Amino acid sequence: MVTVSEEKKGRSLLLLFAGVREMGISVFIVFLIAAVSLRSPYFLTVDNLVYILIDIAILTIVAIGETLVILTRSIDLSVASTLALSGMIVGMTISKHQGIPPAVAVLMGLAIGAVLGSVNGLLVAKGRIPPIIATLGTLSIYRGLVFAISGGAWVDAHEMPRPFVYLSKNTTLGIPNLVLFAIIVAIIFYYFLNHTRTGREIYAVGSNPSAARVVGIRVDRILFLVYLLSGTLAGMAGVLWISRYASAQSDTASGFELQAIAATVVGGVNIFGGSGTLPGVVLGSLLMGIIVNALNLIRISPFWKLAVQGFIILLAVVSDALLSRRLQQAGASEGAS
Amino acid sequence: MTVKARAVPSPSILSGLLLRWEWLLVVLLGIACMVNASLSPYFLDVHNLFDMTFHFMERSLIALPMAFIIISGNIDLSVASNLGMSTIIMAASYKAGLNIWLAMLLGLAAGAVGGLINGLLVARVRLPSLVVTLGTYALYRGVAFVILGDLVVTGFPSSFTAIGQGYVGHTPIPVPLVIFAFFAVLFGLLLHRTAFGRLVYAVGNNETACRFSGVAVDRIRIILFTLSGLMSALAGVVLSARFGSARPNIALGFELDVITAVVLGGVDINGGQGTMPGVVLALFLIGVVRYGMSLKNVPGQIQNTLIGMLLIVAILLPQFLRRLASRSRA
């Protein structure tokens, strides 16, 4: 962790912000946990906590990809459609060729996602289409392709090979596979973002694209890369999704892109790029997962789920904005004195 | 001061004409109509042409303020959810025994308040509109579900459903088309003929400069988001009147259609540029293309794919032409 401590000296204020941001959401989560466990003693059982982790695994994987994109001042609205298309292609393939091992299915998902993500990357980096427009377009295109290749039909549980369905149900060394996937992805991308040159360049492009260009960072390649990675992760998430829910449908994960963006933003990633941390994003999706779980446990009608999620997103960003503004003022007066 | 065309002016008059976005849309609209006419001999029938507009007037009503918001450098993702919330408030209070017209006013007020909340969070708390309206996207749709659950409200009086299904007198002109035409002219004049409209462009081009010049940027933003909420609620009135029913998932996904139409209409997603005629042309273009695909029984999902492609091609094409033009100049 030498690099981190070196950075701390150089950019203490920035890191203070990042630190406080994660602390803010952590405190919020702790309060939420305390409040919910008062209402429902089952909440703090190991079974339930593991269930929450399983529940947020796929969201976390997609949100990490979304984070890379948002860090560069872009956005990827097509992740849910990419997830669905990858899931449908893999689902249809394994239903026809039952012998395909689950690992190969996951690799297929990664590859399909990479292709779809690189289309976004080309449109944004080479075609110079504003990210929100390019991925709004591919959101519709990929979603339509899911329908086109499936003809609106589902791939059901009984059509999938048993080992594939169990991929998401089994545990390895006592850890549920889905959670393990999310942990591996989180560790890889934590290392990538913080300890590799390219990872730091992603932050640089997001903080100041023209300065990044001046110091010799190839902004186009970074943009292409983040979309490629976001698509790849969404593609993998698609395979895990159809394994977990044992079905692939044309409306799989419809609207999931907003949950992924919400987890990212609630986790403290600046929507204008350049700042945000991976642990923050993991906490962001954890918060989203806890909310859904808590609503179920304290028997609030499922119709409240969306409204509460929306309220929490707004609460998180408003308090974050007010807090960081307060801090900025404090920092400025400290610097002056 | 004239509105800049989307493309950089080029020395050649021909390419200058071609690059004028609205003309490209007119040409595309002509092609789409010809294709539709070849698909069905009844397409060019006057009654059919008018009836076709029933299908996209609600989206069009929302697209008008959306054009303002995008030109001013923001975005509103919550429009369809706000439509859902305000329509369900209207429908639920009607079901509870309120007079339909009072219920409608209540719905319109709810939509305006929803928009006002967006505007306050963007202008006063200084949050990015993308994040604010992503939050209210979930919140407003959620409120609709909280109020009505999985129920449906039906049985609106025929005087109300006439707003969405009726014709003007004995003419073949649909009521929703008249409502849209009225607001299209109103918003067009507001954008292109008033000081307020000029300020919307100015805010979208350079917010900082506007603040230093004493422009009430915050007030403009709050007005625009409130207008957006109000028009979403109005679109909800038309839509529920056309369906004769209201359920919480009404107009789900409309925001993407609306943003697509506005951008296809030549409005710069980064703000500062765009025209109302362009937006109206794009709305009709998408409407005609979708109608043609329905004539061929193309499923909605596949239609979305083609609209998505249309959007991307529409942005890539002028860039491609511009590159060609600059190459021929060099």
Residue B23 has pLDDT above 90, yes or no: no
User: Residue A326 and residue A135: Cα distance in Å, rounded?
Assistant: 35
Closest alpha carbon within chain B to A314: B135
A22 phi/psi in degrees, rounded to 5: -65, -35
Instruction: Tell me the domain boundaries of chain B.
Output: 51-252
**Rg for chain A, CA atoms, rounded:** 20
The pLDDT assigned to A265 comes to: 86
Assigned token pair, B281:
């042309």
Q: What is the three-class DSSP state of B277?
A: helix
User: Residue B201 and residue A223: Cα distance in Å, rounded?
Assistant: 29
What is the helix (H) or strand (E) element at residue A40, kind and residue range? none
**In this structure, how many other beta carbons lie within 10 angstroms of the beta carbon of residue A291?**
18
Q: Measured between CA atoms, how close is A134 to chain B, in angstroms?
A: 6
How do beta strands A175-176 and A171-172 pair? Answer: antiparallel
Residue A219 has pLDDT above 80, yes or no: yes
Task: Identify the CA nearest to B215 among candidates B227, B198, B191.
Answer: B198
User: Residue B203 and residue B205: Cα distance in Å, rounded?
Assistant: 5
Q: Measured between CA atoms, how close is B172 to chain A, in angstroms?
A: 34
B304 within 8 A of A143, measured Cβ to Cβ: yes
Q: What is the three-class DSSP state of B80?
A: helix
What is the helix (H) or strand (E) element at residue A108, kind and residue range? helix A102-121
Please list the alpha-helical segments (H only) found in B149-268: 158-165, 175-193, 195-205, 207-212, 217-243, 254-264
**Mean residue pLDDT across chain A:** 85
B130 within 8 A of B101, measured Cβ to Cβ: no
The pLDDT assigned to B330 comes to: 60
Residue B229 has pLDDT above 80, yes or no: yes
Write the DSSP symbol of residue A117.
H
Tell me the chain A residues in contact with residue B305 when contact means C-beta distances shorter than 8 Å: 140-141, 143-145, 147-148
A67 within 8 A of A276, measured Cβ to Cβ: yes
Q: Report which residue type is found at A150.
A: S
Closest by Cβ to A140, choosing from B128, B139, B304: B304
Render pLDDT for B253-285 as a digit per residue (tens, 0 to 9). 888 889 889 988 989 888 899 999 999 999 999
Assigned token pair, A277:
């941390």
Render pLDDT for A109-150 as a digit per residue (tens, 0 to 9). 999 999 999 999 999 998 888 888 889 889 989 998 998 888
User: Residue A316 and residue A310: Cα distance in Å, rounded?
Assistant: 10
Q: What is the three-class DSSP state of B245?
A: strand
Q: From the centroid of its chain, how far is CA B286?
A: 12
B305 close contact with A: CB closer than 8 A? yes
Q: What percent of chain B has pLDDT over 70?
A: 94
Assigned token pair, B311:
């959007």
Its pTM stands at 0.83
Q: Measured between CA atoms, how close is A129 to chain B, in angstroms?
A: 7
Render pLDDT for A28-61 as a digit per residue (tens, 0 to 9). 788 888 888 888 888 888 888 888 999 899 999 9
A310/B137 Cβ within 8 A: yes
A318/B127 Cβ within 8 A: yes
User: Residue A216 and residue B238: Cα distance in Å, rounded?
Assistant: 55
State whether CATH 1.10.3470 applies to domain A14-328: yes
